[in-house]
Protein backbone atom coordinates (compact mmCIF):
# COMPACT_ATOMS: atom_id res chain seq x y z
CA UNK A 1 0.00 0.00 0.00
CA UNK A 2 1.17 3.51 -0.82
CA UNK A 3 0.28 6.09 1.82
CA UNK A 4 -0.92 9.17 -0.06
CA UNK A 5 -1.44 12.76 0.98
CA UNK A 6 -3.42 15.28 -1.06
CA UNK A 7 -3.12 19.04 -0.73
CA UNK A 8 -5.43 21.28 -2.71
CA UNK A 9 -4.15 24.86 -2.99
CA UNK A 10 -7.22 27.07 -3.33
CA UNK A 11 -8.19 30.24 -1.53
CA UNK A 12 -11.86 29.72 -2.42
CA UNK A 13 -11.73 26.04 -1.50
CA UNK A 14 -10.12 26.81 1.86
CA UNK A 15 -12.95 29.28 2.58
CA UNK A 16 -15.57 26.68 1.62
CA UNK A 17 -16.66 28.63 -1.47
CA UNK A 18 -15.67 25.92 -4.00
CA UNK A 19 -15.99 22.14 -3.97
CA UNK A 20 -12.67 20.36 -4.45
CA UNK A 21 -13.34 18.10 -7.43
CA UNK A 22 -9.63 17.75 -8.27
CA UNK A 23 -8.85 16.11 -4.94
CA UNK A 24 -11.67 13.67 -5.59
CA UNK A 25 -10.19 12.75 -8.99
CA UNK A 26 -6.82 12.10 -7.37
CA UNK A 27 -8.37 9.87 -4.73
CA UNK A 28 -10.19 7.81 -7.37
CA UNK A 29 -7.17 7.35 -9.63
CA UNK A 30 -4.67 6.62 -6.89
CA UNK A 31 -6.67 3.54 -5.89
CA UNK A 32 -5.45 1.94 -9.17
CA UNK A 33 -1.95 1.60 -7.70
CA UNK A 34 -3.04 0.47 -4.24
CA UNK A 35 -2.78 4.01 -2.93
CA UNK A 36 -4.67 4.95 0.20
CA UNK A 37 -5.30 8.58 1.03
CA UNK A 38 -4.33 8.99 4.67
CA UNK A 39 -4.25 12.78 4.75
CA UNK A 40 -6.16 15.41 2.77
CA UNK A 41 -6.13 19.18 3.20
CA UNK A 42 -7.52 22.18 1.35
CA UNK A 43 -5.32 25.19 2.07
CA UNK A 44 -5.04 28.78 0.87
CA UNK A 45 -2.57 29.66 -1.88
CA UNK A 46 0.11 30.80 0.57
CA UNK A 47 3.66 29.49 0.32
CA UNK A 48 4.32 29.15 4.06
CA UNK A 49 0.96 27.44 4.66
CA UNK A 50 1.68 24.99 1.84
CA UNK A 51 5.15 24.20 3.17
CA UNK A 52 3.84 23.68 6.70
CA UNK A 53 1.08 21.31 5.54
CA UNK A 54 3.47 19.40 3.29
CA UNK A 55 5.89 18.84 6.16
CA UNK A 56 3.09 17.86 8.54
CA UNK A 57 1.89 15.17 6.14
CA UNK A 58 5.40 13.89 5.54
CA UNK A 59 6.55 13.85 9.16
CA UNK A 60 3.36 13.26 11.15
CA UNK A 61 1.35 11.13 8.71
CA UNK A 62 4.30 9.25 7.20
CA UNK A 63 3.05 9.52 3.64
CA UNK A 64 5.01 8.06 0.71
CA UNK A 65 3.40 10.15 -2.02
CA UNK A 66 2.21 13.74 -1.75
CA UNK A 67 0.07 15.01 -4.61
CA UNK A 68 -0.75 18.69 -4.75
CA UNK A 69 -3.38 20.21 -7.00
CA UNK A 70 -3.63 23.86 -7.94
CA UNK A 71 -1.31 26.83 -7.80
CA UNK A 72 0.99 25.76 -10.64
CA UNK A 73 0.34 28.60 -13.09
CA UNK A 74 1.54 32.15 -13.61
CA UNK A 75 -0.89 34.11 -11.43
CA UNK A 76 0.64 35.96 -8.48
CA UNK A 77 -1.11 33.57 -6.06
CA UNK A 78 0.27 30.45 -7.79
CA UNK A 79 3.04 29.41 -5.39
CA UNK A 80 2.78 25.61 -5.08
CA UNK A 81 5.93 24.91 -7.15
CA UNK A 82 7.84 27.53 -5.17
CA UNK A 83 6.85 25.89 -1.87
CA UNK A 84 7.77 22.47 -3.25
CA UNK A 85 11.18 23.60 -4.50
CA UNK A 86 12.02 25.03 -1.08
CA UNK A 87 11.38 21.63 0.54
CA UNK A 88 12.63 18.96 -1.83
CA UNK A 89 16.10 17.45 -1.59
CA UNK A 90 16.12 15.99 -5.13
CA UNK A 91 14.17 17.24 -8.11
CA UNK A 92 12.58 14.63 -10.41
CA UNK A 93 12.06 16.73 -13.55
CA UNK A 94 11.00 13.85 -15.81
CA UNK A 95 7.64 13.53 -14.08
CA UNK A 96 6.64 17.16 -14.68
CA UNK A 97 8.14 17.06 -18.17
CA UNK A 98 6.08 13.98 -19.08
CA UNK A 99 2.89 15.62 -17.83
CA UNK A 100 3.58 18.81 -19.80
CA UNK A 101 4.56 16.87 -22.93
CA UNK A 102 1.32 14.88 -23.00
CA UNK A 103 -0.78 17.88 -21.99
CA UNK A 104 0.65 19.88 -24.90
CA UNK A 105 -1.06 17.40 -27.22
CA UNK A 106 -4.37 18.62 -25.75
CA UNK A 107 -3.77 22.33 -25.14
CA UNK A 108 -1.00 24.81 -25.82
CA UNK A 109 -1.62 26.28 -22.36
CA UNK A 110 0.21 23.29 -20.86
CA UNK A 111 3.48 25.11 -21.52
CA UNK A 112 2.44 27.66 -18.89
CA UNK A 113 2.55 25.07 -16.10
CA UNK A 114 5.31 25.49 -13.54
CA UNK A 115 4.59 22.13 -11.87
CA UNK A 116 7.58 20.36 -10.32
CA UNK A 117 8.20 17.07 -8.60
CA UNK A 118 10.84 15.89 -6.21
CA UNK A 119 11.84 13.92 -3.16
CA UNK A 120 12.06 14.92 0.47
CA UNK A 121 13.05 12.27 2.99
CA UNK A 122 11.21 9.14 1.73
CA UNK A 123 8.33 11.03 0.10
CA UNK A 124 7.71 11.86 -3.55
CA UNK A 125 5.95 15.20 -4.09
CA UNK A 126 4.21 15.90 -7.40
CA UNK A 127 2.44 19.13 -8.33
CA UNK A 128 -0.65 18.59 -10.45
CA UNK A 129 -2.76 21.28 -12.17
CA UNK A 130 -5.91 22.66 -10.58
CA UNK A 131 -8.71 21.58 -12.88
CA UNK A 132 -10.23 18.10 -12.46
CA UNK A 133 -9.85 17.36 -16.19
CA UNK A 134 -6.17 18.34 -16.21
CA UNK A 135 -5.52 16.41 -13.00
CA UNK A 136 -6.95 13.26 -14.57
CA UNK A 137 -5.00 13.72 -17.81
CA UNK A 138 -1.70 14.35 -16.02
CA UNK A 139 -2.06 11.66 -13.39
CA UNK A 140 -2.92 9.08 -16.04
CA UNK A 141 0.42 9.88 -17.75
CA UNK A 142 2.55 9.17 -14.67
CA UNK A 143 0.54 6.79 -12.50
CA UNK A 144 2.18 3.59 -13.80
CA UNK A 145 5.67 4.66 -12.65
CA UNK A 146 4.67 5.82 -9.18
CA UNK A 147 4.93 2.47 -7.36
CA UNK A 148 8.43 1.92 -8.76
CA UNK A 149 9.43 5.48 -7.86
CA UNK A 150 8.25 4.96 -4.27
CA UNK A 151 10.14 1.67 -4.06
CA UNK A 152 13.31 3.39 -5.29
CA UNK A 153 12.97 6.23 -2.80
CA UNK A 154 12.51 3.74 0.03
CA UNK A 155 15.54 1.74 -1.19
CA UNK A 156 13.42 -1.34 -1.80
CA UNK A 157 14.72 -2.09 -5.31
CA UNK A 158 17.71 -4.37 -5.84
CA UNK A 159 17.73 -4.18 -9.62
CA UNK A 160 16.32 -1.45 -11.90
CA UNK A 161 16.88 -3.25 -15.19
CA UNK A 162 13.85 -4.79 -16.84
Domains by residue range for the chain, with CATH: 2-153 (3.40.980.10)
Distance, in Å, from the CA atom of 156 to the CA atom of 162, rounded to the nearest integer, reads 15
Tens of pLDDT, residues 61-80: 999 999 999 999 999 999 99
- Residues forming a β-bridge with 40: 6
Residue 162, pLDDT score? 59
Element (H, E) at 119: strand 117-120
Distance, in Å, from the CA atom of 69 to the CA atom of 53, rounded to the nearest integer, reads 13
Q: What is the Cβ-side half-sphere exposure of residue 147, based on CA atoms within 13 angstroms?
A: 9
Does 46 score more than 80 pLDDT? yes
Tens of pLDDT, residues 93-118: 999 999 999 999 999 999 999 999 99
3 state DSSP class of 34: coil
Residue 159, pLDDT score? 64
pTM for the full model?
Answer: 0.95
Q: What is the Cβ-side half-sphere exposure of residue 46, based on CA atoms within 13 angstroms?
A: 11
Mean pLDDT score of the chain? 95
Which of 65, 85, 61, 69 lies closest to 152 in space, CA to CA? 65
Element (H, E) at 6: strand 2-9
Amino acid sequence: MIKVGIITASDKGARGEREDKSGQVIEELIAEIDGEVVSYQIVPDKKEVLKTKMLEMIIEDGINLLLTTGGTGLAPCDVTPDATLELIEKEVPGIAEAMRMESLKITDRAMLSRAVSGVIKETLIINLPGSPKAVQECLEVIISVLPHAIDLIQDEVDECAR
